[in-house]
Every structure is written in structure tokens, then in C-alpha cells.
Amino acid sequence: MAYREKQPFNENHLRPCPMLENPECLRKMIEETGAKSTDIISPECVNHLCDKCIPYANSWEETANRLWDESKK
């Protein structure tokens, strides 16, 4: 439910993913719902997962915003 209720995670449709482009959204949903990893072999906490995604999100943000703004002209 939280995933559906929180959409869109970003108004820029070039940054739609709550994990890759908006890791703060995924972190918040997990904290609010108490969801846990279901990976039996290698469970990963949400903070570790989201922290790994932040560099990608930051590097893509400027380009995605520029392209999104240009597409609206």
C-alpha cells in the first residue's frame, strides 16, 4: 500500500524509482511500514541499500532535471 500511496516519487518522470533515483523515499516507506528484507541468503537493511543508491541518484539528478525541463518546452 505504501508504494502505491506514495507515487509519484518524483514529479520528474525521468527519476521515477524510489530505490535508484529517490532512495530517501524508499527509506521512509520501509521505516513507516516496518518491512524487512526477504532475501534468505543475504538480507540487507534499508539503510545499507539506500546508502549504496545515493551516489547514482545524485549523479543522475542534474542531467535528468535538465532533460525533463527541456522536454516541457
Query: Which has the closest alpha carbon to 49: 37, 61, 62?
Result: 37
Question: In terms of residue numbers, what domain contains 34?
Answer: 2-71
> What would the pLDDT profile of 3-27 be if each residue is shown by its tens digit?
999 999 999 999 999 999 999 999 9
Q: What is the pTM of this model?
A: 0.85
> What would the pLDDT profile of 30-55 be if each residue is shown by its tens digit?
999 999 999 999 999 999 999 999 99
pLDDT at 46: 95
Number of domains present in the structure of the chain: 1
**Sole residue written with cell 534468505:** 40
Give dist(CA 19, CA 69) in Å, integer. 22
Q: What DSSP assignment string belongs to 13-62?
A: TTS--TTTT-HHHHHHHHHHHT-----SSS---HHHHHHHHHHHHHHHHH
